[in-house]
Structure 1
């Protein structure tokens, strides 16, 4: 283990600073998450699940944008236009991550993973190689590796975990391969880019190690906390440690920011939906969109158990409140959480009405029917 107090160690000062910053970031993350209320905590957990899935797919070398990811989860299009025959199945990777998080010891995360699983319906993958490695096996290896790390006497920010992964057959970076092609008279050597190690699986369990060391109250997964550069065999120890501490710090800062954003989103939803009746499901829909990202109407129907008319009515109400924006992708509408200026249109107040005794489902159906009537009247007046 590197001695951070040895002035002759390569970049010892930089390493010490990176470690201290990472410790401070983990402290802020732990305190911020502990201070979240129930609804804000649910939004944060959903964003964390989404972040874990996105990190896994990008480590597996799938290139995509945020919009493309939402469209893929909605079953509207492929995750990427690039050929994916050299990458593992994106839907298989996603299912492995969700399956693992759905059994997490922290209830909000497990519930968020189940909610993501219920709404995500990506398109079927193309033909895959029968020799393709199962990502579930990577998760098992990461779990066993994390369980083998003994708590450290002084905080090393899961450095022992990363060092053990560096020697592991699954997680050690592969060497670059050279291949020669030619017909005898003409030959050319190509350098094949090796597949990177599945560091996303290590990131799902790094929180287990940090919790054992007393640095986190919950064994939170930290997407991006373990990076391939810190596992390489061909760089000095000081450079590896610096890369590891920097990655841990950035991952913790990103999650702390997500927690702050979740609190802010919950506050906005609470304030702007105060005029709605107390039984309205619209605030719940806004919070789902804030956590899971853009969804199509039938996904919302599944996650909230509502009718199509009820969903349309709530979307209309949230759009007037400046909380939802809808865009079309391949002719299908995706509804995303936003914080826009309210349109100023009338939104039903929360005062008791003769309809107050009706069930939520009946009220949602009523809202949808009224919206359809308004549309017909508007059309007839313009004709």
Structure 2
């Protein structure tokens, strides 16, 4: 269905209303949830931003393959994408940008994860890194220009952002252009692949605009809110509805992720509540947030000794909060909720399920939060 066929009616207005409702709900949830939950959530947001960016660039991989690639145990995909930007350079640019963001918790974990990136180096690493940094610099310039426009409505902000994309040589998707290749006495028409719009950089920074307008208490990356199919349309109402639907989907994903972060934190707290002097909860937050890592990566992120990290991981394994995975002859440690479907993985122990008590506690906490915010289930 194209923009001209999209029904602009009460259903479209309802999408906008639901979107604004979800923004309010996310705002309240973030303001009232505990710091440990926010730290786990921040790790997940950083990971999601990188995975979304790499897939937008054209790399094909599973979530589990991303973790092993990030740990330096595998390539990202087989075969590698020919025309995509360097995956390592893209992740380095995202980590650099996020480490200077306005949300302290996200900036902190990005800064700590940067030296833990063990992905294979590119052949032309300097050029690839500069290309990715140029993308984020131009995205930051566009977002800052939009923020100075005085527009406060999130949906109007999205409309303005899409207008900037349409006029940008970098972010507007380019049409395929034929190329001529001379082979002996013959000329062969080739189709050059369309240049990928690096919209991930704008989606990573759009949350700064929402934070500046006090729509959200912190700047969150919002993957997949840009709808390139609404650029240049002659149906502005339909385009607005499509963009509202994209934002609604992103907000639902964020609320789900925040709920999962709360459940993970509750499970950890209930099991480790009598070990207040241990740093094991900090290691768990990293794994529950960012995902599977090698012990050497955890050492780097926590600034802890090898012996200290070994003790933390042993404590978490004994408590059933962490599992050990063997991949390519190396060990990685993971919180049980992370998918590990790719590659030859051998678990040292069975993954424990969340207890019914923990699930009941999670549901009760969300209900209490809804009552605090004045949110009814029928809304």
The structure-2 alpha-carbon separation of the partners of 1:40 and 1:298, relative to structure 1 and needing over 3 Å to count, comes to same
How many residues in Structure 1 have an aligned counterpart in Structure 2? 333
Match of 1:11 in 2: 7
Deviation at 1:202, TM superposition (A): 0.8
RMSD value, Cα: 2.6
Q: Which residue of 2 aligns with 1:220?
A: 220
Correspondence for 1:125:
122
- The reply to whether residue 151 of structure 1 matches residue 165 of structure 2 is no
- Give the 3 Å change call, closer, same or farther, for CA 10–131 of structure 1 in structure 2: same
2: distance between equivalents of 1:221 and 1:17? Answer: 25
Q: What does 1:308-327 correspond to in 2, within 5 Å?
A: 308-327=306-325
CA contact (8 A) 1:178 1:192 kept: yes
Q: Which residue pairs with 1:298 in the alignment?
A: 296
Aligned in 2, Cα 1:141/1:46: closer, same or farther, shift over 3 Å?
A: same
User: What is the CA distance between 1:188 and its match in structure 2?
Assistant: 6.0
Compute the TM-score of the two structures, normalised by the length of structure 2: 0.80
Give yes or no for contact 2:42–2:109 (8 Å, CA) kept in 1: yes
Aligned to 2:340: none
Query: Structure 1 length normalisation: TM-score?
Result: 0.79
Q: Distance in 2 between matches of 1:89 and 1:134?
A: 9
Q: Which runs of 5+ in 2 are unaligned?
A: 338-350, 354-379
Report the CA distance between 1:238 and its aligned residue: 4.2
- 1:108 positional shift: 0.9
Higher relative contact order (CA 8 A, sep 6+): 2
Q: Do residues 160 (structure 1) and 160 (structure 2) align?
A: yes
Partner residue in 2 for 1:205 = 205
Larger radius of gyration, structure 1 or 2? 1
Match of 2:376? none
Deviation, structure 1 residue 233 = 3.2
Deviations 1:75-128 (A, max 9, x none): 111111223442211111111111111111111111011122132221112347
Does the Cα contact within 8 Å between 1:151 and 1:213 map onto a contact in 2?
A: no
Equivalent positions of 1:96-111 (< 5 A) are 96-111=93-108
Aligned 1:233-272 pairs, distance under 5 A: 233=232, 236-272=235-271
- Give the Cα separation in 1 of the matches to 2:239 and 2:310: 52
Structure 1 stretch displaced more, 106-115 or 171-180: 171-180
TM-superposed deviation, 1:235: 6.9
